[in-house]
Structure 1
């Protein structure tokens, strides 16, 4: 255990001053007592500022085909988006639909997105998985049909040729590499000569102008197109900057892979960089065993000041940091904060990061997180306290009011109102109307509870997704978030994730996804493959004991897992079982793995199912 008095590198963060009001209807309001400071009206106003103040400072960089970093300064980027903006005004802006990007992060993608927003043309990035990891392209077709784009961009024509052929709406196609017949070269966009039309279009933008349409993950249905206005974006970037003032004035250097088709990567990380004059190194890796090798090479080159990732990314990072002293020295040399989002970070991973920082630089680093969503661009709450353990989401950012509506005994559905909240969903009035309550608060569908009922400043704890919860056939509700979190924590690093079963059944079951590297280490099987690990007698007995011990602490049917099985499959991205952020989509697994679910409830259970002896 790490001693609680072990020193941290102290960095300035926003003071915690939270107001709480209990209303007559039983709802609770909480908000920050710190005023939201002024913020720009237009998405590229801060980019323009830094282009004038620090034109040579590197804004964005990406490795070229030879492995060398190609860098673009703020002045150069601002100049290039004038050219691209002119092209868009000449060729696509007359169309009602936005500029759409199907491919991943790249410097060309960045310039096109900024240019579109600069001249008031809406921009939408769609998850590359919809184009590259799907056979029927159903989600891609759904998104494109909703957007009816005026222009479509792909990085690599050959790579995206099949997806482009599936588009239900014809639109001009722009390609950066490996051109296709009839496609427009990205270089042609940069050759357009800017006229007064660019400044005129920019001048007409106001806070309610649509800047982006970002799609939800579709974990509870078809992806919805979330409208992000210029005001929404700038407001949230100011809220984040006030929360972490050390990122201001060039204090941010990122090495980042998170996709711009999601709000964490595209709004939070990329936006925060140019809002504060920072530098963004595009990491073409990802949090898989194979993909993380690219990330490691980038982190050996560039020392970040803040490192953002999803929990899976941090799990991969810890494995490499433990075995590479040089990587550790570079990684921690300038680091001021570690920040995770998208899911909860296991306590053992946090502890490993603390130990590695202490070993390398002699102090711990702030590990922060919060609560966000696409509809909030994305941030609503942050946890900036050094002494918090995993699961605490923190407190509301300035300018936003959180409404807590009672749900269960001590949990609340959290709802939000503030200038960073979306006005609604693109071309979907019904979903928009259903998303807000009669007081204009956005209904998140998530349950939270107070870390300390008597101290709102102690933060809120995630308590599950309301739509994931289910009833047993006894009528008893199962809180999926709480029980799953307890199960993963009890696993002490062996269980990566779980899908709980039991809707209209006698008891709760679980499909367990193992953390393979930790399991291999535990079972002393270095280099063992997936099948060998999950069939290891030592692993099976360890998992059985974990589930048994957890169930013995349960207080009733809704808190006891009676049967469990170790997943002998890798969750499918194509089927939506695994999101781009590396998290498991419970609903999709239950939909596509019905045979696995049924195996948990057979009278004669198969040998792959672990049964728990209650009261042994």
Structure 2
């Protein structure tokens, strides 16, 4: 297939140590790196002043801010922050989702060295999740809080934790205690803005990003200007087309996550691109808004999670005009969060060939909040999903084998965090004796004899467990296998079996799919009973068991959960992922029932 996008070929050196440890490095030199994000903003305000930088839906059209207007507003807001005495020790907590004012405030804070702390909007909008919000507020002790709408966020704004903190809202309503965002735009002529901006160095903290809290209380990841600026150089080194023509992006991924808020947002700013905020999401009831937005403007890049790409592929199949628009200028299809199903990958690949006779670069990368995030990337074209590639320029990956094929991954480079906010012990624990960040992730080589073929993600070391027989279970990969086996009946699932004789699975069903299939469900104290559904699950598990060998991958029992995973109870992280430990702890009674052969809600094979 013809590949349309420019790319930088893999070139990797391998160093094998006597203890079996492997060091991988890119042979390409790291390109020039900006001092701070303000440098990007000044550059494009001068070179392309009227080009749209950021936009959001407004009525039937878009509210658009050019680079020149953005710089002017950022400087005005920044001077207002300085006028309030704000600096590196007075963070701003941002409680709302993506928006133009959110973006302007973030850039203004970065312009003068004030850290921002974006948190998931669900923490404010869902009553039961206020504990997560309170934890973040108590941890970082902000001087200012921002919301888009004071009425919509009224319950969260009434929290005692926000007492004494200035609240700023784009739509303050009638709340006299809330500062209108427009007041920040008035600026403060009494401050020396340029002097303060000049003091923002690569080591200045730009953001404190909260971890998902899937294994412990959420930690605040210190994200410096260097981390963000280096990462954009690394990405543009790997994908030269970013520098060839200004990119354009229509994107929904939340800015409280490093993927949407640092990777994607900064990619537009660093390369003079245009960011159109998609106020839709890949969920029922909101995806239609995404399709509407794409009917108005499409991007040169497309980022999404696998479920989003699956929904988008379906929409493109049914709309020829949208299909033509979508692929017309497309340079990149980039998935993250999980492996893209191969049928979805091939669907986009074939559709691109049908529409324009060539395929954009289809790829993914790997990284964490602590790594800014991109650390490895599949830079070359490839014909399948699941490969995360090789270390980006300036990164050294330390691979520690834990069996013949699998390696624990640790990384070092200028895009790695200096640590966690006010948590020196956890910071110390996060790095090994050589200064490598301990990721907890595992990888395998695509081809052990050719490291340039890259690596594949192989789960989290912490998710693995042993059966009573001593057999290791690679839970992360097994979960992906089971999601495929039980699709589309299962929306998610948890692999069980630690210190037990058999592997089981706790299934979160897709209730809409079960209803469409005509399954009549009976709730039995947290688990569904249904003879037809149990028969279908038994058939699939038995068929799979005949095709595999070994106790490390055989699923012997299943239970279908009637209660969906709960965000307020911590079973779902801010990223929308399952917190497996929390599910197993909170539903211990159902876990015990899963291993009771006499329980009528359990499927056994």
Alignment TM class, shorter chain as reference = over 0.9
Aligned partner of 2:152 in structure 1 is: 159
Is residue 2:389 matched to residue 1:403? no
Closer, same or farther: CA 486–274 of 1 in aligned 2, 3 Å:
same
Listed as ranges, the matches of 1:104-143 within 5 Å are 104-135=97-128, 137-143=130-136
Q: 1:508 to 1:362 in 2, by over 3 A?
A: same
How many Å separate the matches in 2 of 1:333 and 1:271? 24
Report the equivalent of 1:176. 170
- 1:598 maps to 2:556: no
Secondary structure, aligned partner of 2:364: strand
Report what 1:414 is aligned to: 409
Deviation at 1:377, TM superposition (A): 0.7
Q: What residue in structure 2 maps to residue 332 of structure 1?
A: 327
1:127-181 CA-to-partner distances (Å, cap 9, x unmatched) read 1111112426221111111111011111111121211222525311101114323
The residue that corresponds to 1:4 in the other structure is: none
Please tell me whether residue 86 in structure 1 is matched to residue 72 in structure 2: no
Whole-Å separation in 1 of the counterparts to 2:585 and 2:267: 37
Quote the Cα distance in structure 1 between the aligned partners of 2:488 and 2:359.
21
**Contact 2:9–2:380 (CA under 8 A) maintained in structure 1:** no
Distance 1:81 1:334 in 2: 30
- Counterpart position of 1:236: 231
For residue 187 of structure 2, the aligned residue among 189, 192, 196 is: 192
> 449-458 or 243-252, which moves further after superposition?
243-252
Cα distance, 1:581 vs. partner? 3.9
Provide the residue aligned with 1:586 in structure 2. Answer: 580
CA contact (8 A) 1:343 1:583 kept: no
SS of 2:279's partner is coil
8 Å CA contact 2:87–2:113 kept in 1: the answer is no
Residue 536 of structure 1: CA displacement?
8.1
Q: 2:44 aligns with which of 33, 39, 50?
A: 50
Q: Are 2:281 and 1:286 aligned?
A: yes
Residue by residue, what CA displacement relative to the aligned partner does 1:240-287 show, whole Å, maximum 9, x if unpaired?
111111122543111111111000000000011010000000111112
1:349–1:578: structure 2 CA closer, same or farther, 3 Å change rule? farther
Whether the 8 Å contact between 1:82 and 1:194 is mirrored in structure 2 is: no
- Can you list the C-alpha shifts for 1:392-423, whole angstroms capped at 9, x where unaligned? 11111000000011223421110000000000
Q: Which moved more, 1:486-495 or 1:267-276?
A: 486-495
Contact between 2:204 and 2:224, CA under 8 Å: does it hold in 1? yes
Residues 283-335 of structure 1 deviation map (CA, whole Å, 9 limit, x = unaligned): 11112111111111101111111110111211222232232222222222221
* SS of alignment partner, residue 29 of structure 1: strand
Distance 2:288 2:522 in 1: 23
TM-score (norm 1): 0.92
| CA pair 228-407 structure 1, distance change in 2 beyond 3 A | same
Tell me the secondary structure at the aligned position of residue 424 of structure 1.
coil
Contact 1:92 1:150 in 2 (8 A): no
Segments of 5+ residues of structure 1 without an aligned counterpart are 1-6
Aligned counterpart for 1:259 among listed residues 254, 265, 277:
254
Asked whether 1:27 is paired with 2:21, we answer yes
| Ranges in structure 2 where 5+ consecutive residues have no aligned partner | none
1:135 match: secondary structure? helix
Q: Name the SS for the 1:259 alignment partner.
A: coil
| Coordinate RMSD, CA, aligned | 2.4
CA distance in 2, matches of 1:463, 1:11: 28
Q: Deviations over 1:377-400 (max 9, x none)?
A: 111011133334222111110000
